[in-house]
Chain A
Amino acid sequence: MSVASVKTVEKSEMHPAQSGKPAGPRKREKQGRLAFWLLLPAGLAVFGVIIYPIFRTLIISFFQVNSALATDTPFVGVDNYVHVLGSASFWESMGRTLYFTLLSTALELAFGLIVAGLLNAKLRARWLFRAVVVIPWAIPTIVNAAMWKGIFSAQYGALNALLTQLGIIKEYQAWLGDPTTALNMVVLADVWKTTPLVAFFLLAGLTSIPAELYEAAKLDRARWPRIFRSVVLPMLVPSISIVLVLRTVEAFKVFDIIYAMTRGGPVNGTQTVAYYAYTTAFSDQNFGVGSALSYIIVVVILALSAIYLRLLRRSEMSLL
């Protein structure tokens, strides 16, 4: 039984009105009107907040705005974009963001799979285990960041203490003092927080695999690695794809954990594009360039999502 056949069954159940008695155009129109009224509050609440700012930011990105209260804001066309795309620090922050996104998403997926597999095992205290796993995800990002900052602390941190007492390192290290190490440490903190969420998404996919599939595979004397590759992974493709899209978009926009752990430092070593846009707009009061930067982020995320959506469609997966 494949995902596709499940889908067709569902579809035929979903349209009883159309398959049983032909739904007249009037009925359809009535449903349309009801749908409009039901969706109106959600539409107002979401797009009422978003629409104007989107266009306003686009407009600002074509002007030179050097203060929130600036009255003299000359039109500069695409100069802000040219300035951003020509600056070395933009490309460096872009590189760091890609590194952060790829590494954290890959690690979260790998650990998430392992945790989901463990959670799916038939243990007696399974609910307790699930409750424990959910903890890192429930801890607010800022608290999580402060906690890891404490653990990595150069003078009093637990990581230094642990490694020295185990005799692995001789001298205390400034874990957040070196640009590359600091970025890896931020990835670690992010992975710790987000793996549970990924695991729960994958677990939801795992529990929907029918038991017959495992039994059939066992009858064929398939071993575990083979079952995993031929049964589990293909069935998990939908949940893996959703997790990939969600995590990639989220990681690309990362801001709060960076702000709380390193403020983009040391020597800009953990400055991602979203953080770069934030400092350009709010610390340097360069709102025009900041807006241009945030539009570049939007375009990159749209491009990434388009690639993913294409892959999703190929794997017969849709969001609805």
Chain B
Amino acid sequence: MASVTPQRVLITTPLRWIPDTFDFSRYGQIFNGGADSVGATFRAAMMNSAVVAVGTVSISMVVGILGAYAFARLRFRFRRATLMIFLATYMLPQIALLIPLYLILNSLGLLDTTTGLILVDCALVIPFVLWILSNYFMTIPDELEEAARIDGTTRLGALFWVVLPAARPGIFAAIMFSFLLAWDEFMYALIFTSSDAAKTLPVAISEFAGRYTTDFGLVAAGGILAALPPLIVAIIFQRYVVSGMAAGAVKG
């Protein structure tokens, strides 16, 4: 709402709830602003966020599906313990890893790159994907897979042709969770990025909010644009989340 209210109305006291005119100039500023403007920074951040989120989700999903299948279907020693160790990484606060990670990324030349961010974000997201998917895979009847394997399909073939299609709600739920996690990640992005080359939206917005404290409308416009992609993903996938979790995560 504030994003289309003229500055003059925003700072009137008492506040008027409905502005007398709509002012879309801030969106113009963001979309058309030349180099070195707020708009250029914002557009770069939007791009970086998209790259980081899509990269993180893709890697996490591929790696997570393979791992979750192992947890759900194969009998091996330390199965439970291995899963618990993966889940326990969630308890580590990011702050405990920041300083050494900064030094590592620096020496690898990955500081202030989207590749570096994808790398560290995957470590956050994969445990979640493993948890959601392995629970969901366990609810898919073994018989389906066995039938396929009697027909001569390999285990991996059965995973792709039988288990994955049957696990669609769980897969969508996992995609949605990992996308929101990656899009929302702030602390790594704050410390590991410094320029338009890799800065993501949350960092860019928090900088806007710090710099343009008087133009709340501009911050609001940026915020709305930053919230759009996750909103679209969430609204499309929300109906799978309940079924994906109902069958999976929550079952004892």
Contact = CB atoms under 8 A, between A and B. Distances in A.
Interface of A: 3, 6-7, 10, 13-14, 16-18, 23, 28, 31-32, 34-36, 38-39, 41-43, 45-50, 52-54, 56-57, 60, 68, 127, 130-131, 134-135, 137-143, 146-147, 149-150, 153, 155-156, 158, 160-161, 164-165, 172, 200-201, 203-205, 207-208, 238-239, 242, 249, 252-253, 255-256, 259-260, 274, 277-278, 281-282, 287, 290-291, 293-295, 297-298, 301-302, 305, 316-320
B109 interface: no
Contacts of B2: 150
A298 B93 contact: yes
B97 A150 contact: no
Contact of B155 (A10, A34, A242, A293): A34
A242 B242 CA distance: 15
A16 B142 CA distance: 8
A239 B95 contact: no
Contacts of A48: 123
Contact of B92 (A50, A200, A317): A50
Given A140-B230, A320-B135, A207 B246 contact: yes
Contacts, number: 276
B95 A156 contact: no
A49 B101 CA distance: 8
A200 B242 contact: yes
Given A53-B98, A320-B71, 5 more contacts: A39-B67, A138-B180, A156-B11, A165-B15, A204-B245
A208 B251 contact: yes
B80 interface: yes
B252 A204 contact: no
Given A41-B66, A149-B209, A161-B15, A297 B93 contact: yes
Given A39-B67, A201-B250, A208-B250, A260 B206 contact: yes
Closest 7 CB pairs of A and B: A161-B15, A138-B234, A56-B100, A49-B123, A42-B67, A294-B96, A53-B100
Given A142-B206, A319-B131, A281 B155 contact: no
Contact of B86 (A46, A140, A141): A46
Contacts of A160: 15
B63 interface: yes
Interface in B190-220: 190-191, 201-203, 205-206, 209, 216, 219-220
B126 A131 contact: no
Given A158-B15, A242-B250, A249-B91, A141 B186 contact: yes
Interface in B161-196: 180, 183-184, 186-187, 190-191
Interface string B214-240: 001001100110110011011100110
Contacts of B97: 49-50, 53-54, 57
Nearest to B119: A49
B83 interface: yes
B131 A239 contact: no
A34 B93 contact: no
A277 B184 CA distance: 21
Interface in B35-78: 59-60, 62-64, 66-67, 69-71, 74-77
Nearest to B246: A204
A147 B226 CA distance: 12
A278 B98 CA distance: 9
Contact of B76 (A31, A56, A293, A319): A31
6 contacts: A34-B74, A39-B66, A39-B71, A141-B186, A277-B93, A298-B91
A161 B93 CA distance: 38
Nearest to B86: A46
Contacts of A238: 250-252
A297 to B, nearest CB: 5
A17 B92 CA distance: 38
A42 B64 contact: yes
A281 B135 CA distance: 38
Given A14-B138, A156-B13, A156-B216, A42 B96 contact: no
A207 B246 CA distance: 7
A282 B187 CA distance: 12
Given A130-B238, A138-B180, A46 B89 contact: yes
B114 interface: no
B241 interface: yes
Contacts of A165: 14-15
B91 A156 contact: no
Contacts of B127: 46
A32 B250 contact: no
In this complex, which of B89, B135, B142, B251 has the most chain A Cβ atoms within 10 angstroms of its Cβ?
Answer: B251
A54 B71 CA distance: 25
A16 B70 CA distance: 16
B110 to A, nearest CB: 11
A164 B14 contact: yes
B183 A140 contact: yes
Contact of B227 (A47, A140, A301): A140
B238 A249 contact: no
Contacts of B11: 155-156
A140 B64 contact: no
A86 B10 CA distance: 47
